[in-house]
């Protein structure tokens, strides 16, 4: 195959970009032909194979990457099946002498990466992996005693006072192509898109791919960064970055975001500087999530705090009906329902709404946090195992640096505080559109005339609350007290 006899395979995964891609840069610097490849192998990610919304995004992100590569005279070779045999077949077909990839840090991936590296090197194939998805290697950030951090504030301080975040790598200029290309599966054959098209709302809300990521970053820097510190908790505003799905699929890297935000800081001590620091701490929270999952690989399926293994989560038919109501955005609590409907329609939910909805599930309904984590995993376009796990364990009070279990969000007060005019609720729960702001977060307390004028009939056009929050809060605190008594002590 001409110059492909010394080719380098670049194995793309959750790094679907050309800029700041160290594996791609290394391959180009070898001076031989570059063959980009993506291997669809969901069984190797089990039990956390990509969910439906993630698969939709992946389909379009792969198409965008292939388009970008074709502008460079390349193409993306698609294969499916187990990774190592697929790579070996490609090596045999192309005569490739090297394979480069960017690391993943999920438990199912870490061991697999090492097996691929060892097997290829044993066959005298150069095999190199790089960090493209995190600011810092999870194993490099430790306490003075050499242990993993389990509290965010000292973790983030250690990160910020350590080695500086390196500048992002520029996209390669000219990339050598092979004189002939190996066979590629079609994107459609991977069957990533749903057979029944439920993704219209997601399509309308997002533009997957590296170009879409950069467009979103520019919008955030120009329009929202300055007010992020105050506005990030307001789901009725557009003051968040909405970069999470682009980060999840590596269409943009955290180093690119870090330096872009730093460059945007023009005022020291003012609003923009404070907002930049708050936003970058959210990037730090993402780092912390991956740090925890790397060092405590069991936490995606079990609470980090062992006492929660005995927590009396509810079971039975009523619990299942209430879980379904939560999933469908029909709990009778407007701010919860708005968040869940935004999720179902767009594949994304505002972070404050995520916290409120998650708290309602695990505290008000006493549904096991793993049920919520699974639902988010299947419906979020930014479903990231580390972030998803940390978020749910934080809300449930059973993980590292967790919110105290006795912090039970009141969905009415949360709505009144962070959606005071009800704009977010009106957008996603249109049956309440005409309810005055005074009542929109507690329509069951509204006078009959107000409901009638708004065309709302509780129990018919909009559900009554499926649980009384005050009673549910007491039940949750009693449940927590049970595991404290069983453990014979107070909270750690």
**pLDDT tens for residues 271-302?**
568 899 999 999 999 999 999 999 999 999 99
Split at pLDDT 50, 70, 90, the class of 269 is very low
- Which of 265, 295, 325 is the last residue in one of the domains? 295
Domain CATH number, residue 113: 3.40.50.620
90 and 61 in a common domain: yes
Alpha-carbon separation of residue 112 from 9, 41, 84, 106, 387 (angstroms)? 17, 12, 9, 10, 21
Task: Please tell me the chain's helix, strand, coil percentages from 3-state DSSP, rounded to the nearest 5.
Answer: 55, 5, 40
Distance CA 85, CA 44 (A): 12
Is 7 part of a structural domain of the chain? yes
What is the tally of structural domains in the chain?
3
Q: What is the DSSP letter of 147?
A: P
**What pLDDT, on the 0 to 100 scale, is given for residue 485?**
77
Rg (CA), the chain: 24
In a domain, 311, yes or no: yes
Predicted confidence (pLDDT) per residue in 20-71, tens digit: 999 999 999 999 999 999 999 999 999 999 999 999 999 999 999 999 999 9
pLDDT recorded at residue 403: 63
Structure confidence at residue 283 (pLDDT): 97
Residue 322 has pLDDT above 60, yes or no: yes
User: In this predicted structure, what is the pLDDT of residue 492?
Assistant: 31
Q: Residue 67 and residue 238: Cα distance in Å, rounded?
A: 30
Do 127 and 270 fall within a single domain? no
Give yes or no for a cis peptide into 443 (omega within 30° of 0): no
Q: Are residues 34 and 161 in the same domain?
A: no
pLDDT at residue 270 is higher than 80: no
pLDDT at 407 (0 to 100): 84
Q: Under a CB-based contact definition with an 8 Å cutoff, are residues 472 and 365 in contact?
A: yes
Q: Are residues 284 and 375 both part of a single domain?
A: no
Say what percent of the chain tops pLDDT 70: 96
Distance CA 76, CA 11 (A): 10
Range of the domain at 251: 134-167+210-295
Based on the fold, state whether residues 316 and 433 are members of the same structural domain: yes
For the cut 80, the answer to whether the pLDDT of residue 424 exceeds it is yes
CB 372 within 8 A of CB 355: no
Q: What pLDDT was estimated at residue 149?
A: 95
Contact present, 231 and 224 (Cβ < 8 Å): yes
Same domain, 436 and 472: yes
335, 415 contact by CB (below 8 A): yes
In a domain, 229, yes or no: yes
384: CATH: 1.10.579.10
Q: How many residues does the chain have?
A: 492
Residues 390, 399: Cα–Cα separation, whole Å: 7
Least confident span in 135-139, 412-416, 471-475, 486-490: 486-490
Instruction: Name the pLDDT band for 171 (thresholds 50, 70, 90).
Output: very high
Tell whether the model's pLDDT for residue 335 goes beyond 80: yes
Of the listed ranges 5-9, 349-353, 379-383, 459-463, the least confidently predicted one is: 5-9
What is residue 487's predicted lDDT score, i.e. its pLDDT? 67
* Helix (H) or strand (E) segment spanning residue 356: helix 351-359
Please say whether the beta carbons of 400 and 304 come within 8 A: yes
Q: Do residue 270 and residue 326 come from a single domain?
A: no
Q: What percent of the chain has pLDDT over 90?
A: 89
Q: What is the pLDDT of residue 3?
A: 41
Sorted by sequence, the CB contacts under 8 Å of residue 372 that are 6+ apart come out as: 358, 361, 362, 392
Confidence check: pLDDT of 339 > 70: yes
Query: Would 179 be classed as within a structural domain?
Result: no
Q: Which tokens in the block code for residue 171?
A: 């996209």
Q: Which residue has the tokens 């750690």?
A: 492
CA dist., res. 254 & res. 168, Å (int): 9
Residue 110 inside a domain? The answer is: yes
- 150 and 96 share one domain: no
Six token digits for residue 445:
């307390």
Do 258 and 314 sit in the same domain of this protein? no
Q: List, by residue number, the catalytic residues.
A: 282, 285, 313, 351, 369, 392
Instruction: State the Cα–Cα distance between residues 313 and 322, nearest whole angstrom.
Output: 13
Q: Choose one of 271, 295, 319: the last residue of a domain.
A: 295
CATH number of 281's domain? 1.25.40.80
Is 191 contained in some domain?
no
Do both 389 and 419 map to the same domain? yes
| Global pTM value | 0.94
- Least confident window among 245-254, 301-310, 444-453: 301-310
Contact present, 255 and 247 (Cβ < 8 Å): no
The predicted structure's pLDDT at residue 197: 85
DSSP single-letter state for residue 458: B
Q: pLDDT value at position 421? A: 98
- pLDDT tens profile 118-140: 999 999 999 999 999 999 999 89
Tell me the pLDDT tens digit for each residue of 201-213.
999 999 999 999 9
| The pLDDT of residue 196 | 85
Q: What is the DSSP letter of 233?
A: T
CB atoms within 10 A of CB 3: 14
| Residues forming a β-bridge with 40 | 80
Same domain, 157 and 86: no
Domain assignment present for 491: no
Assess if residue 202 is contained within a domain: no
Q: Which of 132, 158, 191 is the last residue of a domain?
A: 132
What whole-number distance in Å separates Cα of residue 225 and Cα of residue 213?
16
Evaluate if residue 267 carries a pLDDT over 80.
no
**pLDDT digits 0-9 by tens, 18-27:** 999 999 999 9
Query: Does residue 120 share a domain with residue 139?
Result: no
Burial of 454 (0-12, 13-18, 19+ CB in 10 A): buried
With a cut of 80, say whether residue 266 has pLDDT above it.
no
- Model confidence over 353-376: pLDDT tens digits? 999 999 999 999 999 999 999 999
pLDDT class of 445 with cuts at 50, 70, 90: very high
């Amino acid at each position: 195959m001409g110059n492909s006899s010394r080719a380098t395979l670049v194995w793309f995964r959750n790094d679907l970009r050309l800029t700041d891609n160290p594996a791609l840069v290394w391959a180009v610097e070898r001076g031989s032909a570059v063959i980009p490849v993506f291997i669809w192998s969901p069984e190797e990610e089990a039990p956390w194979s990509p969910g439906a919304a993630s698969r939709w995004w992946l389909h379009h992100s792969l198409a965008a990457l292939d388009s970008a590569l074709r502008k460079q005279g390349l193409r993306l070779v698609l294969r499916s099946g187990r990774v190592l045999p697929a790579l070996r077949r490609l090596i045999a077909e192309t005569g490739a002498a090297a394979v480069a990839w960017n690391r993943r840090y999920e438990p199912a991936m870490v061991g697999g990466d090492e097996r691929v590296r060892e097997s290829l090197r044993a066959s005298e194939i150069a095999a190199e992996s790089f960090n493209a998805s995190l600011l810092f290697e999870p194993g490099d950030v430790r306490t003075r005693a050499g242990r993993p951090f389990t509290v965010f504030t000292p973790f983030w301080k250690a990160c910020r006072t350590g080695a500086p975040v390196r500048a992002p790598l520029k996209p390669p200029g000219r990339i050598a192509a092979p004189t002939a290309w190996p066979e590629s599966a079609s994107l459609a054959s991977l069957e990533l898109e749903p057979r029944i098209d439920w993704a219209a709302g997601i399509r309308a809300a997002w533009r997957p791919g590296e170009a879409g990521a950069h467009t979103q970053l520019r919008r955030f820097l120009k329009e929202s960064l300055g007010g992020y510190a105050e506005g990030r908790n307001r789901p009725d505003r557009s003051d968040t970055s909405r970069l999470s799905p682009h980060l999840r699929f590596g269409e943009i890297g955290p180093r690119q975001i870090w330096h872009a935000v730093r460059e945007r800081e023009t005022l020291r001590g003012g609003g923009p500087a404070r907002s930049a620091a708050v936003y970058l701490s959210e990037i730090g929270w993402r780092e912390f999530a991956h740090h925890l999952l790397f060092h405590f690989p069991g936490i995606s399926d079990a609470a980090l705090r062992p006492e929660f293994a005995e927590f009396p989560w509810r079971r039975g038919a009523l619990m299942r009906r209430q879980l379904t109501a939560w999933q469908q955005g029909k709990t009778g609590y407007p701010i919860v329902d708005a968040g869940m409907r935004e999720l179902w329609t767009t594949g994304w939910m505002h972070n404050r709404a995520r916290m409120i909805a998650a708290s309602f599930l695990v505290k008000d309904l006493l549904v096991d946090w793993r049920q919520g984590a699974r639902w988010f995993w299947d419906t979020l376009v930014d479903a990231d195992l580390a972030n998803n796990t940390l978020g749910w364990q934080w809300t449930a009070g059973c993980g590292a640096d967790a919110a105290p279990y006795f912090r039970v969000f009141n969905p009415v007060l949360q709505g009144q505080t962070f959606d005071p005019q009800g704009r977010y609720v009106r957008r996603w729960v249109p049956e309440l559109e005409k309810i005055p702001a005074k009542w929109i977060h507690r329509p069951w307390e509204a006078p009959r005339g107000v409901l009638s004028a708004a065309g709302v009939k509780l129990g018919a056009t909009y559900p009554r609350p499926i649980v009384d929050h005050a009673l549910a809060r007491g039940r949750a605190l009693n449940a927590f007290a049970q595991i404290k008594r069983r453990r014979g002590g107070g909270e750690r």
